[in-house]
């Protein structure tokens, strides 16, 4: 292990980073040091094999709205940063498809997250293309046919409205 490996291991083994991996990101103030560690790994060590995990967490987090309530009871909303999230997730996906990134389950999650982000933006062509890419990629992998079939079934539902969204759309406004 080299000097960089030791620093990366130190950065990624912090408690706050563990929470961020578990939550797939967060803007919570108490996790700021973890976010700074992930940012450092994602930028300074961009070509290191573990950087893809930092990019994955940051990319997923950028796709979400984050709400904070201040001590004064004021709601502060951070809107998704689709462009930044998409850039990170596209890099993660490309590295992973080349065998230098995430495991297959996390790669599938990345691709689904990216497809949903495109959908929320209204870019249905990119959303549909990303979903088709899930099936195409995993059909080429040496995995069991029943797993390929399961991935295809799940991919077919990725762009369907989410349950909460269906419920909210049916409520009076």
Q: What is the pLDDT of residue 65?
A: 94
| Cβ 80 vs Cβ 120: under 8 Å | yes
85 occurs within a structural domain: yes
Q: Of all helices (H) and strands (E), which one includes residue 10?
A: helix 3-12
- Answer yes or no: is pLDDT of 111 > 60: yes
> Structural domain of residue 66, as residue ranges?
3-102
pLDDT tens per residue across span 67-110: 999 999 999 999 999 999 999 999 999 999 999 999 999 999 99
Whole-number CA gyration radius for the chain: 18
In this model, does residue 171 exceed pLDDT 60?
no
Counting residues of the chain whose pLDDT is more than 90, the rounded percentage is 90
CA distance 67 to 85: 17
Residue 88: what pLDDT?
96
pLDDT tens-digit readout, 18-37: 999 999 999 999 999 999 99
Q: Could you tell me which residues are beta bridge partners of residue 78? A: 66
Could you tell me what percent of the chain has a pLDDT over 70? 93
What is the pLDDT at residue 164?
A: 55
Q: Is residue 22 part of a domain?
A: yes
On whether residue 162 sits in a domain, the answer given is: no
In a domain, 152, yes or no: no
Report whether pLDDT(136) > 70. yes
Task: Give the pLDDT score at 102.
Answer: 94
Name the DSSP class of 76: E
Evaluate whether 41 touches 55 at the Cβ level (below 8 Å).
Answer: no
| Residue 77 included in any domain | yes
150, part of any domain = no
Which pLDDT belongs to residue 3? 75
**DSSP letters spanning 85-116:** HHHHHHHHHHHHHTTSS--HHHHHHHHHHHHH
| SS3 assignment, position 159 | coil
- Judged against a pLDDT cut of 70, whether residue 166 lies above it is answered with no
154 is a domain residue: no
Specify if 40 maps to a domain: yes
Averaged pLDDT score across all residues of the chain: 92
Domain count within the chain: 1
């Amino acid at each position: 292990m080299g000097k960089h490996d030791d620093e990366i291991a130190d950065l990624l083994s912090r408690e706050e980073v563990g929470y961020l991996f578990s939550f797939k990101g967060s803007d919570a103030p108490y996790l700021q040091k973890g976010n700074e560690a992930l940012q450092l790994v994602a930028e300074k060590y961009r070509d290191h094999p573990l950087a893809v995990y930092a990019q994955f967490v940051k990319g997923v987090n950028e796709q979400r709205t984050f709400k904070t309530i201040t001590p004064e009871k004021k709601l502060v909303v951070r809107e998704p940063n689709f462009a930044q999230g998409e850039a990170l997730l596209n890099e993660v996906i490309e590295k992973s498809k080349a065998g230098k990134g995430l495991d297959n389950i996390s790669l599938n999650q990345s691709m689904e997250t990216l497809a949903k982000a495109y959908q929320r933006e209204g870019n249905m062509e990119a959303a549909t293309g990303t979903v088709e890419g899930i099936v195409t990629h995993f059909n080429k992998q040496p995995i069991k046919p029943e797993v390929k079939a399961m991935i295809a079934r799940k991919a077919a539902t990725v762009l369907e409205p989410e349950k909460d969204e269906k419920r909210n759309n049916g409520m009076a406004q």
